Structure 1
Amino acid sequence: MSSPTSSHAYGIGLIALIVGMSATVVFYTSFYLPESLAKPSVSEHILNPEKELIIQIVPGAVIEGNENYVPNKAEALLEINNKVIWENHDDTAHTVTPDHRHADTYSGDFGSTGVLKPGDTYEFLFTEPQEVHYHCQPHPWMTGSVIVEKSRF
Protein backbone atom coordinates (compact mmCIF):
# COMPACT_ATOMS: atom_id res chain seq x y z
CA MET A 1 0.00 0.00 0.00
CA SER A 2 1.39 3.41 -0.96
CA SER A 3 1.78 6.11 1.64
CA PRO A 4 -0.32 9.30 1.35
CA THR A 5 2.81 11.44 1.44
CA SER A 6 4.12 10.09 -1.90
CA SER A 7 0.82 10.61 -3.75
CA HIS A 8 0.63 14.22 -2.46
CA ALA A 9 4.19 14.87 -3.63
CA TYR A 10 3.33 13.39 -7.01
CA GLY A 11 0.21 15.59 -7.29
CA ILE A 12 2.09 18.74 -6.26
CA GLY A 13 4.87 17.96 -8.74
CA LEU A 14 2.32 17.44 -11.52
CA ILE A 15 0.60 20.76 -10.71
CA ALA A 16 3.96 22.57 -10.68
CA LEU A 17 4.80 21.05 -14.06
CA ILE A 18 1.46 22.16 -15.55
CA VAL A 19 1.85 25.70 -14.15
CA GLY A 20 5.43 25.90 -15.49
CA MET A 21 4.41 24.71 -18.95
CA SER A 22 1.49 27.15 -19.01
CA ALA A 23 3.79 30.05 -18.11
CA THR A 24 6.16 29.01 -20.90
CA VAL A 25 3.34 28.88 -23.48
CA VAL A 26 2.00 32.29 -22.37
CA PHE A 27 5.48 33.85 -22.63
CA TYR A 28 6.13 32.28 -26.04
CA THR A 29 2.80 33.32 -27.60
CA SER A 30 2.61 36.76 -25.95
CA PHE A 31 6.17 38.02 -26.19
CA TYR A 32 8.61 35.89 -28.16
CA LEU A 33 6.47 34.89 -31.16
CA PRO A 34 5.08 38.36 -32.06
CA GLU A 35 8.57 39.90 -31.74
CA SER A 36 10.15 37.28 -33.98
CA LEU A 37 7.43 37.65 -36.65
CA ALA A 38 7.32 41.44 -36.61
CA LYS A 39 8.12 43.11 -39.91
CA PRO A 40 10.51 46.05 -39.95
CA SER A 41 9.09 49.54 -39.93
CA VAL A 42 8.89 50.85 -43.51
CA SER A 43 7.85 54.30 -44.73
CA GLU A 44 4.33 54.60 -46.17
CA HIS A 45 5.88 56.16 -49.30
CA ILE A 46 7.86 52.96 -49.89
CA LEU A 47 4.86 50.72 -49.17
CA ASN A 48 2.68 52.77 -51.53
CA PRO A 49 4.92 54.05 -54.34
CA GLU A 50 3.72 56.64 -56.86
CA LYS A 51 3.61 54.14 -59.71
CA GLU A 52 4.47 50.57 -60.65
CA LEU A 53 7.34 49.25 -62.74
CA ILE A 54 6.02 46.82 -65.36
CA ILE A 55 8.30 44.14 -66.80
CA GLN A 56 6.77 42.25 -69.71
CA ILE A 57 7.53 38.72 -70.74
CA VAL A 58 7.07 39.42 -74.45
CA PRO A 59 5.55 37.17 -77.14
CA GLY A 60 8.18 34.77 -78.48
CA ALA A 61 10.28 34.99 -75.30
CA VAL A 62 10.48 31.21 -75.21
CA ILE A 63 12.65 31.21 -78.36
CA GLU A 64 16.33 31.43 -77.44
CA GLY A 65 17.88 34.63 -78.79
CA ASN A 66 14.62 36.63 -78.75
CA GLU A 67 13.88 39.43 -76.30
CA ASN A 68 12.32 38.01 -73.17
CA TYR A 69 11.96 40.23 -70.08
CA VAL A 70 11.40 43.85 -71.19
CA PRO A 71 13.00 45.91 -69.81
CA ASN A 72 15.75 43.38 -69.30
CA LYS A 73 17.78 45.50 -66.86
CA ALA A 74 15.14 47.39 -64.92
CA GLU A 75 15.87 50.19 -62.50
CA ALA A 76 13.46 51.08 -59.70
CA LEU A 77 13.49 53.89 -57.18
CA LEU A 78 12.15 53.52 -53.65
CA GLU A 79 9.00 55.62 -53.17
CA ILE A 80 8.63 56.10 -56.95
CA ASN A 81 8.22 52.68 -58.67
CA ASN A 82 9.51 50.02 -56.28
CA LYS A 83 6.42 47.83 -56.81
CA VAL A 84 7.48 45.65 -59.74
CA ILE A 85 5.00 43.61 -61.76
CA TRP A 86 5.98 40.93 -64.29
CA GLU A 87 3.29 40.31 -66.93
CA ASN A 88 3.38 37.21 -69.11
CA HIS A 89 2.35 38.24 -72.64
CA ASP A 90 3.88 35.10 -74.19
CA ASP A 91 1.81 32.03 -75.08
CA THR A 92 4.09 29.82 -72.94
CA ALA A 93 4.30 29.56 -69.15
CA HIS A 94 7.38 31.14 -67.53
CA THR A 95 8.81 31.86 -64.07
CA VAL A 96 10.58 34.70 -62.31
CA THR A 97 13.23 32.79 -60.37
CA PRO A 98 16.14 34.44 -58.51
CA ASP A 99 19.60 33.29 -59.61
CA HIS A 100 20.46 32.97 -55.90
CA ARG A 101 18.01 32.84 -53.01
CA HIS A 102 16.98 36.42 -52.33
CA ALA A 103 14.72 38.00 -49.73
CA ASP A 104 13.55 41.51 -48.89
CA THR A 105 13.36 42.09 -45.12
CA TYR A 106 9.77 43.35 -45.43
CA SER A 107 8.32 41.44 -48.40
CA GLY A 108 10.08 38.11 -47.85
CA ASP A 109 11.39 35.71 -50.47
CA PHE A 110 11.65 36.94 -54.05
CA GLY A 111 10.47 34.76 -56.93
CA SER A 112 7.22 33.54 -58.43
CA THR A 113 5.69 30.46 -56.88
CA GLY A 114 5.05 28.07 -59.71
CA VAL A 115 4.70 29.20 -63.31
CA LEU A 116 3.11 32.31 -64.77
CA LYS A 117 0.67 31.07 -67.38
CA PRO A 118 -0.09 33.32 -70.36
CA GLY A 119 -1.85 36.42 -69.00
CA ASP A 120 -0.66 35.84 -65.38
CA THR A 121 1.30 38.38 -63.36
CA TYR A 122 3.77 38.26 -60.49
CA GLU A 123 4.38 41.30 -58.31
CA PHE A 124 6.99 42.09 -55.70
CA LEU A 125 7.37 45.12 -53.45
CA PHE A 126 11.03 46.04 -52.95
CA THR A 127 11.51 48.02 -49.72
CA GLU A 128 15.28 48.47 -49.63
CA PRO A 129 18.12 49.15 -52.08
CA GLN A 130 19.20 45.89 -53.71
CA GLU A 131 20.08 44.19 -56.95
CA VAL A 132 18.36 40.99 -58.02
CA HIS A 133 19.28 38.81 -60.98
CA TYR A 134 16.65 36.34 -62.14
CA HIS A 135 15.81 33.87 -64.88
CA CYS A 136 13.04 31.60 -66.13
CA GLN A 137 13.41 28.14 -64.60
CA PRO A 138 12.28 26.12 -67.67
CA HIS A 139 14.03 28.52 -70.10
CA PRO A 140 17.37 29.44 -68.45
CA TRP A 141 18.47 31.65 -71.38
CA MET A 142 15.75 34.08 -70.30
CA THR A 143 17.49 36.36 -67.79
CA GLY A 144 16.89 39.78 -66.30
CA SER A 145 17.76 42.00 -63.37
CA VAL A 146 16.22 44.68 -61.18
CA ILE A 147 18.30 47.33 -59.44
CA VAL A 148 16.48 49.15 -56.67
CA GLU A 149 17.98 52.42 -55.43
CA LYS A 150 17.01 55.12 -52.96
CA SER A 151 14.99 57.95 -54.43
CA ARG A 152 17.13 60.96 -55.23
CA PHE A 153 14.47 63.38 -53.97
Structure 2
Amino acid sequence: MSAPTSSHAYGIGLIALIIGMSATVVFYTSFYLPESLAKPSVSESILNPEEEFVIKIVPGAVIEGNQNYVPNQADVLLSVNNLVTWQNDDDTAHTVTPDHRTTDSYSGDFGSNGVLKPGDTYEFLFTEPQEVPYHCQPHPWMKGKIIVEVSRF
Protein backbone atom coordinates (compact mmCIF):
# COMPACT_ATOMS: atom_id res chain seq x y z
CA MET A 1 0.00 0.00 0.00
CA SER A 2 1.33 3.43 -0.93
CA ALA A 3 1.58 6.34 1.48
CA PRO A 4 -1.13 8.94 1.11
CA THR A 5 -0.02 12.31 -0.27
CA SER A 6 -0.84 15.45 1.60
CA SER A 7 -2.56 18.32 -0.15
CA HIS A 8 -1.01 20.59 2.48
CA ALA A 9 2.45 20.03 0.98
CA TYR A 10 1.19 21.09 -2.45
CA GLY A 11 -0.50 24.17 -0.94
CA ILE A 12 2.66 25.22 0.90
CA GLY A 13 4.72 24.74 -2.25
CA LEU A 14 2.28 26.82 -4.27
CA ILE A 15 2.34 29.61 -1.67
CA ALA A 16 6.16 29.58 -1.67
CA LEU A 17 6.17 29.82 -5.47
CA ILE A 18 3.76 32.78 -5.44
CA ILE A 19 5.81 34.60 -2.79
CA GLY A 20 9.02 34.01 -4.75
CA MET A 21 7.52 35.29 -8.00
CA SER A 22 6.06 38.32 -6.21
CA ALA A 23 9.45 39.17 -4.71
CA THR A 24 11.03 38.90 -8.18
CA VAL A 25 8.43 41.23 -9.73
CA VAL A 26 8.84 43.77 -6.91
CA PHE A 27 12.64 43.74 -7.28
CA TYR A 28 12.44 44.07 -11.07
CA THR A 29 9.95 46.95 -11.10
CA SER A 30 11.37 48.78 -8.05
CA PHE A 31 15.11 48.46 -8.53
CA TYR A 32 16.29 46.95 -11.80
CA LEU A 33 13.94 48.64 -14.30
CA PRO A 34 14.34 52.25 -13.05
CA GLU A 35 18.12 51.81 -12.91
CA SER A 36 18.29 50.49 -16.47
CA LEU A 37 16.10 53.33 -17.80
CA ALA A 38 17.88 56.11 -15.91
CA LYS A 39 19.71 58.75 -17.92
CA PRO A 40 23.49 58.84 -17.50
CA SER A 41 25.08 61.34 -15.16
CA VAL A 42 26.10 64.43 -17.13
CA SER A 43 27.85 67.49 -15.72
CA GLU A 44 25.82 70.64 -15.18
CA SER A 45 28.12 72.61 -17.51
CA ILE A 46 27.16 70.29 -20.40
CA LEU A 47 23.45 70.36 -19.50
CA ASN A 48 23.52 74.17 -19.27
CA PRO A 49 26.05 75.39 -21.87
CA GLU A 50 27.25 78.99 -21.90
CA GLU A 51 25.46 79.77 -25.17
CA GLU A 52 23.16 78.36 -27.80
CA PHE A 53 24.34 77.52 -31.32
CA VAL A 54 21.83 78.50 -34.04
CA ILE A 55 21.72 76.97 -37.51
CA LYS A 56 19.42 78.79 -39.90
CA ILE A 57 17.50 77.23 -42.75
CA VAL A 58 17.77 80.25 -45.00
CA PRO A 59 15.19 81.65 -47.44
CA GLY A 60 15.41 79.86 -50.78
CA ALA A 61 16.95 76.73 -49.19
CA VAL A 62 14.45 74.61 -51.10
CA ILE A 63 16.11 75.50 -54.42
CA GLU A 64 18.86 73.03 -55.28
CA GLY A 65 22.24 74.76 -55.42
CA ASN A 66 21.30 77.52 -52.97
CA GLN A 67 22.64 77.75 -49.45
CA ASN A 68 20.43 75.81 -47.08
CA TYR A 69 21.65 75.08 -43.53
CA VAL A 70 23.84 77.99 -42.44
CA PRO A 71 26.39 77.03 -41.34
CA ASN A 72 26.19 73.67 -43.07
CA GLN A 73 29.11 72.33 -41.02
CA ALA A 74 28.98 73.31 -37.39
CA ASP A 75 31.68 72.68 -34.81
CA VAL A 76 30.26 72.83 -31.30
CA LEU A 77 31.95 72.35 -27.94
CA LEU A 78 30.50 70.57 -24.93
CA SER A 79 29.85 73.05 -22.07
CA VAL A 80 30.20 76.00 -24.46
CA ASN A 81 27.56 75.84 -27.22
CA ASN A 82 26.29 72.23 -27.36
CA LEU A 83 22.62 73.28 -27.30
CA VAL A 84 21.91 73.52 -31.03
CA THR A 85 18.78 75.09 -32.53
CA TRP A 86 17.72 74.83 -36.15
CA GLN A 87 15.54 77.78 -37.18
CA ASN A 88 13.45 77.58 -40.35
CA ASP A 89 13.56 81.04 -41.96
CA ASP A 90 12.47 79.65 -45.34
CA ASP A 91 8.88 79.76 -46.61
CA THR A 92 8.88 75.96 -47.14
CA ALA A 93 8.72 73.18 -44.54
CA HIS A 94 11.96 71.26 -43.93
CA THR A 95 13.33 68.55 -41.64
CA VAL A 96 16.52 67.89 -39.72
CA THR A 97 17.03 64.17 -40.38
CA PRO A 98 20.20 62.23 -39.50
CA ASP A 99 21.81 60.34 -42.38
CA HIS A 100 22.06 57.34 -40.03
CA ARG A 101 20.20 56.75 -36.78
CA THR A 102 21.98 58.82 -34.16
CA THR A 103 21.35 58.66 -30.44
CA ASP A 104 22.75 60.74 -27.61
CA SER A 105 22.79 58.72 -24.39
CA TYR A 106 21.21 61.61 -22.46
CA SER A 107 19.01 63.40 -25.01
CA GLY A 108 17.85 60.38 -27.01
CA ASP A 109 17.33 60.11 -30.76
CA PHE A 110 18.53 63.02 -32.90
CA GLY A 111 16.26 64.43 -35.61
CA SER A 112 13.24 66.68 -35.87
CA ASN A 113 9.94 64.99 -35.19
CA GLY A 114 8.17 65.76 -38.44
CA VAL A 115 8.61 68.90 -40.49
CA LEU A 116 9.65 72.35 -39.36
CA LYS A 117 7.14 74.75 -40.82
CA PRO A 118 8.26 78.29 -41.66
CA GLY A 119 9.19 79.99 -38.37
CA ASP A 120 9.50 76.70 -36.41
CA THR A 121 12.62 75.60 -34.57
CA TYR A 122 14.13 72.27 -33.56
CA GLU A 123 16.45 72.08 -30.57
CA PHE A 124 18.85 69.32 -29.52
CA LEU A 125 21.24 69.12 -26.56
CA PHE A 126 24.39 67.17 -27.44
CA THR A 127 26.06 65.66 -24.37
CA GLU A 128 28.84 63.56 -25.90
CA PRO A 129 31.41 63.94 -28.68
CA GLN A 130 30.15 62.75 -32.06
CA GLU A 131 29.81 63.62 -35.73
CA VAL A 132 26.29 63.80 -37.11
CA PRO A 133 25.69 64.24 -40.84
CA TYR A 134 22.08 65.21 -41.55
CA HIS A 135 19.79 66.28 -44.38
CA CYS A 136 16.26 67.46 -45.18
CA GLN A 137 14.05 64.47 -45.91
CA PRO A 138 11.92 66.08 -48.67
CA HIS A 139 14.92 67.98 -50.12
CA PRO A 140 17.87 65.53 -49.94
CA TRP A 141 20.33 67.97 -51.54
CA MET A 142 20.09 70.00 -48.34
CA LYS A 143 22.93 68.60 -46.22
CA GLY A 144 24.68 69.58 -43.02
CA LYS A 145 26.98 68.19 -40.38
CA ILE A 146 27.45 68.75 -36.66
CA ILE A 147 30.82 67.96 -35.08
CA VAL A 148 30.60 67.87 -31.29
CA GLU A 149 33.92 68.00 -29.44
CA VAL A 150 35.06 68.22 -25.84
CA SER A 151 35.92 71.74 -24.75
CA ARG A 152 39.67 72.13 -24.14
CA PHE A 153 39.17 74.68 -21.36
Is this a same-fold pair by TM over 0.5? yes
Aligned twin of 1:53: 53
Cα separation, 1, equivalents of 2:11 and 2:93: 64
Could you tell which deviates more after superposition, 126-135 or 9-18?
9-18
Q: Which amino acid aligns with 1:47?
A: L
Cα separation, 2, equivalents of 1:16 and 1:127: 47
Secondary structure, counterpart of 1:17 in structure 2: helix
The alpha carbon displacement at 1:64 in A equals: 0.8
Cα separation, 1, equivalents of 2:151 and 2:131: 15
Cα deviation code 1:43-77 (max 9, x no counterpart): 10010001000001111111111111011101101
Quote the RMSD (CA, aligned, Å).
1.5
What are the equivalent positions in structure 2 for 1:36-47 lying under 5 Å apart?
36-47=36-47
Cα deviation code 1:74-125 (max 9, x no counterpart): 1101111000000111111111110011111111111111111111111110
User: Does residue 34 of the first structure (1) align with residue 34 of the second (2)?
Assistant: yes
Q: Which runs of 4+ in 1 moved over 4 A?
A: none
Cα separation, 1, equivalents of 2:9 and 2:138: 66
Aligned twin of 2:69: 69
Q: Which amino acid aligns with 2:108?
A: G
Cα separation, 2, equivalents of 1:94 and 1:55: 13
Cα separation, 2, equivalents of 1:24 and 1:114: 41
Identity %: 81
The count of residues paired between Structure 1 and Structure 2 equals 150
Aligned twin of 1:88: 88
What are the equivalent positions in structure 2 for 1:1-153 lying under 5 Å apart?
5-6=6-7, 8-153=8-153
Secondary structure, counterpart of 2:30 in structure 1: helix
Gaps in structure 1 of 5+ consecutive residues: none
Cα separation, 1, equivalents of 2:22 and 2:84: 45
Secondary structure, counterpart of 1:33 in structure 2: helix
Question: Could you tell me the TM-score, scaled by structure 2's length?
Answer: 0.91
The alpha carbon displacement at 1:4 in A equals: 8.9
The alpha carbon displacement at 1:10 in A equals: 4.3
Cα separation, 2, equivalents of 1:91 and 1:34: 44
Gaps in structure 2 of 5+ consecutive residues: none
Secondary structure, counterpart of 2:12 in structure 1: helix
Cα deviation code 1:111-147 (max 9, x no counterpart): 1111111111111101111110000111100000011
Cα separation, 1, equivalents of 2:100 and 2:124: 16
